[in-house]
Amino acid sequence: MDRTFRGVAYVSVWVVIWGTVASLMDWMLLTGEVYETASAGQAVTFIAYGAATVVLATRFSGRFLVDSTSETSDQE
């Protein structure tokens, strides 16, 4: 698989994960009346989950973005 395509797909998957998890948490907090729509709490929720997603994506990137030719040479 092309390295650029793999990188774009990797980032895209993490954006979907971030959006899904942050939206579910936001929905729970809104229905629990912890904060209101368009409040600072809502912004903090999405920013915090965004930061956590960046940390996780960076930590796991080595496993998924390894060049396939280096994997082959390592196994020989």
pLDDT digits (tens, 9 = 90+) for 45-64: 999 999 999 999 999 999 98
Q: Give the pLDDT band of residue 3 (cuts 50, 70, 90).
A: confident
pTM above 0.75, yes or no: yes
Residue 38 backbone dihedrals phi, psi, to 5 degrees:
65, 30
CA 50 to chain centre: 7
Q: Which residues contact 61 (CB under 8 A, 6 or more apart)?
A: 10
DSSP-based three-state secondary structure for 76: coil
Closest by Cα among 52, 48, 64, 67 to 11: 64
Packing angle, helices 40-64 and 3-31, rounded to 10: 150
